Amino acid sequence: MRTSTRAHKKHFAPFVLITSATLLLTACGSGSGGPADAAGVAAQADKIPTTDVVSGIGKDASAAGLLPSGVKSLTVAVSVGGTPPGTAYLSDGKTLTGQDVDFTKAVAKVLGIELKVEQASFDAILPALDSGKYDFGASNFGVTDERRKTVDFVTYVNDGQGFAARKDSKLSKVTDLKQLCGLNVATGAGTTFEATLEENEKVCTDAGKKAYKVQTYAESSAIWSSVQQGRSDVVMSTINGLRYAVAHQQGLKFLNEYHRLDVGFAFKKGTKLAPAFQAAVDKLIADGTYEKILKKWGTTGSAIEKSRISPPELKN
């Protein structure tokens, strides 16, 4: 049986460029770690890094010059997932923060544009890009060949897929999905993880074993609650999100990296915005801001040397 707890879409009122300290976006997307209850959310919110690594960034004329004529403001769709390095609320319960937050803010600063932010469920963002409802999405979107058929990406980190479970789990290092046979697997709705599990759903029955059950959730906090309470046996999510969750929640263990993926800002296919965003990311890499953002969120292992536009899916 598949469980779905998809959240209703909300909207943030438009706000001016990311110069305000309260203007924080969201990350999430492919699923990040999250606490098991509201008390856990509050406790972890107090531990979220708040170092300002982007306010001093100035506009880069070269990168900004690559924007289509007349572009001064863009609408970005974001999805709130749970805890860093994905999207999270600070202790005020209102201000959003996370790794993707900082990268989105930083790119906007380099390009000298204002951002109008709208919140949506992760699985609703990519389909809405083609209609022009949003100019781009910033929610830890993994670059896959299937997505590249309808979406353009500008990469800024390398993350990917992995597994985690409770420490009392008999699972150790998961290298084959057949190790999940007979188990309940929790993951994010509309993610690459859900797609991977669905594409390989026959591996167990083909091997004469009981199939695994996929349980999808719209929020990572619900995923971790399911695992902590024993309703799910294992989580499939982002490598960075899993490592963060294991480091900040008791009773969990990281099983392993399963498949690396590039992560990028998502745009309508054929967008003219991609060259400017690519130049902005490369500018951040060159001036050292990029490294500061990764160090803030403890994700230096996800660094890339150069941004790319819609590269082929990594096959590893």
Beta bridge partners of 237: 162
Query: Mean pLDDT in each 10-residue stretch from start to end of the chain (316 residues)?
Result: 36 33 34 39 65 95 97 93 78 86 96 92 94 95 95 96 96 94 95 94 96 92 91 95 89 94 97 98 98 95 97 89
Q: What is the pLDDT of residue 24?
A: 35
Contacts of 70 (CB under 8 A, 6+ apart): none
Longest pairwise C-alpha distance within the chain? 61
Residue 266 exposed, middle or buried by CB count within 10 Å (0-12, 13-18, 19+): buried
Q: Where are the beta strands (DSSP E) in 101-167?
A: 114-119, 136-142, 151-166
pLDDT at residue 74, as a whole number: 97
Output the CA torsion sign for 136, 137, 140, 141: negative
Predicted TM-score (pTM) of the model is 0.80
Query: SS3 of 61, please?
Result: helix
Half-sphere exposure of 306 (CA within 13 A, CB side): 4
